[in-house]
Structure 1
């Protein structure tokens, strides 16, 4: 059973992302203070997230409280100071430290969007993936530096994906609904799919589906469906000898004229021109995700 613990990793390999340390900790001592300008360990980035209790961080002279559901992102060294103030409830946190140029780049992107203090739901993919990683390490099944590098990078991409704008973090339930809708559209793009049928499949109303989809994908469900239809058409134009009208039908477009219009918007040429221009456009498939 997973319990509060911490793990450190040491390697001289700077060619990949490396996990420096990771842990789950209960803090109840006012001696817990970390000054980002005075730490002996440098060259890494830190993510620390509050599960319960309350902590504090000062960044560039500005003080932030860190209640449950919030986390901070800082680099070492930098002008920051995080600490615990004695109170009835301990400060329960999870954290990880990462080394590598890509970690620094992604930290900068997220801090530019959200600031040094971010908010994520406890059931968000970012936190769920953290627990999966910590469990694997605690069980001894995830210790190889290359495996760790892959998992850390996947975790950072999840963090980046949910940091589009303040307040756009995705819960696990939202991700499940959106993934279900995407899977349905990928499997049924050839059929006369409507917003109502997609929402019905997900057992929610169409307006709520549109809000969730926009939040998660920055596009509408029907625009996502159109992308999948064009992808399918591109593939069929190159891998079959079917007439354009047949491909139009098999990809779910209402009419050849509408198919031609949409295809030109994506490819700046007609379907027939794409089929003929194999040298200039030697692709059997093109993806818009």
Structure 2
């Protein structure tokens, strides 16, 4: 069983992502307060999350309550202050402080998507990932900076992934519709598909379909379809001896000139040049994800 505890790690190595400190704490004193412009320890980022009780954080003249299931991301130094709420119940928190350029980049990315205040369930992947690191330190006695860096990086990737999934929150019916649309485009990319045809296949208005697809996939339906066509063309150029214009036609491009234009935007070369450069581009397939 884990119990409230905290650990700090110190290294002069700035070439990798490192854990600065990690902990689980029950705060009972109302004097608990941290100001992001007055801390002596600088150059790191902070993730803190409420297990029970509640606290407050002030960020750039805005005040946010931090009840159970909420947390925050901040950098040190920056203009913020977090402190315990004035109540008898302890403020039970967990935190993870990281150092490194990659940590700052991820913080900027997630804050840009969600803002500095996060909401996650206690059994969410982000919180489970935190406990995985704590168990590695407390139970397995992991202190090697490279092992800790790998665990921290895995946790950050979970943070990014769940943040993007939150940005795509939709009903179960909408998610099913998106999967139906993507499967339809993957199976029929060689045909002259239009937005009307794809939306009709999904049983919705094309304007509604476009908005929903953009929200879900962060790209347009036609851009997604173009990715699938280019992927197919890349494979055929490498695996068959068919003439370039036939490959373009079989992959849904309505003219050789349009096929060549689109292909150059993806690969910065013509289809024929790609076919010839097997040593420089030794891939049987290339997949695009936006």
Task: State the match for 2:7 in structure 1.
Answer: 7
What SS does the corresponding residue of 1:7 show, helix, strand or coil? strand
Distance change (3 Å), C-alpha of 1:3 and 1:213: farther
Task: State the match for 2:64 in structure 1.
Answer: 64
Deviation at 1:65, TM superposition (A): 1.1
Q: Contact conserved, 2:263 with 2:271, CA < 8 A, in 1?
A: no
Q: Contact conserved, 2:17 with 2:101, CA < 8 A, in 1?
A: yes
- Pick from 262, 267, 270 the counterpart of residue 265 of structure 1: 262
Task: State the match for 1:52 in structure 2.
Answer: 52
CA distance in 2, matches of 1:213, 1:4: 44
Q: Contact conserved, 1:45 with 1:107, CA < 8 A, in 2?
A: yes
Q: Contact conserved, 1:29 with 1:84, CA < 8 A, in 2?
A: yes
CA distance in 1, matches of 2:233, 2:262: 14
Query: When the two structures are superposed, what TM-score results if normalisation uses the length of structure 1?
Result: 0.69
Task: State the match for 1:275 in structure 2.
Answer: 272
Q: Which runs of 5+ in 2 are unaligned?
A: 190-196, 203-208
Task: State the match for 1:144 in structure 2.
Answer: 144
- 1:110-162: CA deviation from partner (whole Å, max 9, x where unpaired): 445544x3223325443343333333333326432123223323333443455
Query: When the two structures are superposed, what TM-score results if normalisation uses the length of structure 2?
Result: 0.69
CA distance in 1, matches of 2:100, 2:242: 50
What SS does the corresponding residue of 1:265 show, helix, strand or coil? helix
What SS does the corresponding residue of 2:167 show, helix, strand or coil? coil
**Structure 2 counterparts to residues 176-215 of structure 1, below 5 A:** 189=186, 191-192=187-188, 214-215=214-215
Q: Contact conserved, 2:51 with 2:92, CA < 8 A, in 1?
A: yes
Task: State the match for 1:107 in structure 2.
Answer: 107
Task: State the match for 1:121 in structure 2.
Answer: 120
Distance change (3 Å), C-alpha of 1:45 and 1:273: closer
Q: Contact conserved, 2:43 with 2:77, CA < 8 A, in 1?
A: yes
CA distance in 1, matches of 2:128, 2:143: 19
CA distance in 2, matches of 1:156, 1:69: 18
CA distance in 1, matches of 2:219, 2:144: 38
Compute the RMSD of aligned alpha carbons: 4.6
Q: Contact conserved, 1:230 with 1:263, CA < 8 A, in 2?
A: no
CA distance in 1, matches of 2:124, 2:169: 6
